[in-house]
Chains A and B, each alone.
Chain A
Amino acid sequence: MRLETAIAAAAAAAVGLLLLVAVWDMFAPRLRLRRLSISAPAPWLRGVRAVAFPAALIVGAWLGRTYW
């Protein structure tokens, strides 16, 4: 498997996990379960955003170099 394919697959898996969390959050109130945090920013989600910023910058630079 090439690096490009592996990165795309990893990104798809990560977004798939976020999608599961979002679906959980949508149905949690009806099932009387606790929401996970897509709707209400929790401390760990703030941490994710703090990491996401430099990560997006690095990945963006790499993608720019690779694809353009």
Chain B
Amino acid sequence: MTPRGRLLLAPALVAVLLIVLLAAAALYLPSFDEVAHCPTHERPAPPWGPVTAVVGMVAFLLGGLLSQTYQLFDSPPAPSGRHLPVLRDGLMWVPVAFLAVVFLLLLYETIGLYDSHLFWPITWHVRCIARDQPPATLAVTCLMSLLLGHWLWFRPFRTD
């Protein structure tokens, strides 16, 4: 595989995975009555809470460790001050769009938490699904933690 292909493999896999997850959610959620299932917005029964938290943290660390494995298969040229990876101008809208979506979701969550009569907070939706489908929630939590760990792991650039 070419270096460019290797570079695009991980984002392509993530995109496919997200599309599959979104399709599964779109098929399942319309038939799910949250108000009937979760009138009290309680957390899932033990031991799912602590288990999910611990497994999520382990997946986060694992994702970070996996981000180091690229160096085992391929040693990219060490970027110097003049060769740091730069996002192309045509793709600058991607982080803007992503951050805009996250900002709107957090705004929705804040308003929902402040006055739940206006909106149901996203937290309540998550709690409801977690109570109804604990194993599936655990699996998605693992996956998301893995991806976050993969992206957030601190890898200082080698300048030598």
Residue of B at shortest CB range from A52? B152
| Known A64-B56, A67-B43, A67-B126: A46·B157 in contact at CB below 8 Å | yes
* Residues of chain B within 8 A of A33, CB atoms compared: none
Tell me which of B2-10, B31-39, B45-53 binds A.
Answer: B45-53
Tell whether, in the assembled complex, residue B86 and residue A39 are in contact, meaning their CB atoms are under 8 Å apart.
yes
CB-CB contacts below 8 Å: A33-68 with B: 38-41, 46, 49-50, 52-53, 56-57, 60-61, 64-65, 67-68
A4 to B48, CA, bound (A): 21
| Known A15-B99, A38-B87: A64·B49 in contact at CB below 8 Å | yes
* Residues of chain B within 8 A of A64, CB atoms compared: 49-50, 52-54, 56-57
> B-side binding surface: helix, strand, loop or mixed?
helix
Contact with B56, one of A2, A26, A53, A60 (Cβ below 8 angstroms) = A60
Interface residues of B, count at CB 8 A: 44
Tell whether, in the assembled complex, residue A4 and residue B96 are in contact, meaning their CB atoms are under 8 Å apart.
no
> A-side binding surface: helix, strand, loop or mixed?
helix
Tell whether, in the assembled complex, residue A68 and residue B99 are in contact, meaning their CB atoms are under 8 Å apart.
no
Contact with B along A17-31 (1 / 0, CB 8 A): 011001101100100
Tell whether, in the assembled complex, residue A41 and residue B157 are in contact, meaning their CB atoms are under 8 Å apart.
yes
Tell whether, in the assembled complex, residue A16 and residue B152 are in contact, meaning their CB atoms are under 8 Å apart.
no
A-B residue pairs in contact (CB < 8 Å), sample of 23: A5-B113, A5-B114, A8-B109, A12-B106, A12-B107, A12-B110, A15-B103, A22-B95, A25-B92, A29-B89, A39-B86, A40-B84, A41-B84, A41-B85, A49-B152, A50-B154, A53-B153, A53-B154, A60-B60, A61-B53, A64-B52, A67-B123, A67-B126
